[in-house]
C-alpha cells in the first residue's frame, strides 16, 4: 500500500511541476509560439493528475485483494466487512474486483451486490476526466502547431 501511495505522490508532484509550467506562461518572456507550448504543458499536467488518481485507486483495490485469504478473519474480504452494519454483510458469499474500472464489490448469497468502498466512483470519474482533458489538450496543441505551419506556408 505504501508503494501505491508513493507512486501517487510522485505523480501528484509531477502534476504540480507541470502546473507551475502552465502558470509560468503568464509571465513576460514566455517562449514563442506560446499557445502550443501552453497546451502541451496543460496536457502534461492533466496526464500526471490522471495517473496519480488512478494509481491511488489501483493500489487500494490491490491491497484489498492481498488482504483476502491472509490470516485469521480474512475470509470474506476485510473490505466487505469493515464499517458495515450487520444486516448489510449478512449472507456474504464472495467478492469481485476490477482494475478497469476500479471497484471492489461484495456479493451476497442471493446475488445482490454492494460496493466495499464508495470512493472508487470519484476515482474513476476523476481519472477519466483528467485523461480525456489531457488528450483533448494534446490534440489542441497539435492542431495549433499545424495551423501555425499552414499560416506560415500561406504567407510565404
C-alpha cell at 138: 494534446
Domains: count for the chain: 1
**By the 8 A CB rule, do 45 and 89 touch?**
no
Radius of gyration of the chain (CA): 22
> Across the chain, what does the average pLDDT equal?
84
Determine which helix (DSSP H) or strand (DSSP E) holds 13, and give its type and residue range: helix 2-24
**DSSP string covering 67-115, please?**
HTTSSTT-SS-HHHHTT--HHHHTTEEEEEEEETTEEEEEEETTS-EEE
pLDDT tens string 115-140: 888 888 999 999 999 999 999 999 99
- Average confidence (pLDDT) over 130-151: 92
Predicted TM-score (pTM) of the model is: 0.80
pLDDT band (50, 70, 90) for residue 51: very high
Amino acid at each position: 500500500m505504501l508503494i501505491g501511495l508513493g507512486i501517487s505522490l510522485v505523480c501528484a508532484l509531477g502534476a504540480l511541476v507541470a502546473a507551475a509550467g502552465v502558470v509560468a506562461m503568464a509571465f513576460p518572456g514566455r517562449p514563442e509560439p506560446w499557445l502550443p507550448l501552453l497546451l502541451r504543458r496543460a496536457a502534461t499536467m492533466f496526464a500526471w493528475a490522471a495517473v496519480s488518481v488512478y494509481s491511488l485507486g489501483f493500489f487500494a483495490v490491490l491491497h484489498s485483494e492481498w488482504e483476502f485469504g491472509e490470516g485469521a478473519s480474512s475470509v470474506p474480504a476485510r473490505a466487505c466487512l469493515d464499517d458495515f452494519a450487520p444486516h448489510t454483510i449478512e449472507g456474504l458469499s464472495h467478492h469481485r474486483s476490477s482494475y478497469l474500472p476500479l471497484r471492489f464489490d461484495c456479493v451476497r448469497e442471493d446475488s445482490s451486490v454492494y460496493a466495499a468502498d464508495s470512493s472508487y466512483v470519484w476515482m474513476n470519474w476523476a481519472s477519466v476526466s483528467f485523461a480525456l482533458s489531457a488528450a483533448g489538450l494534446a490534440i489542441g496543441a497539435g492542431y495549433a502547431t499545424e495551423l501555425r505551419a499552414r499560416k506560415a506556408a500561406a504567407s510565404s
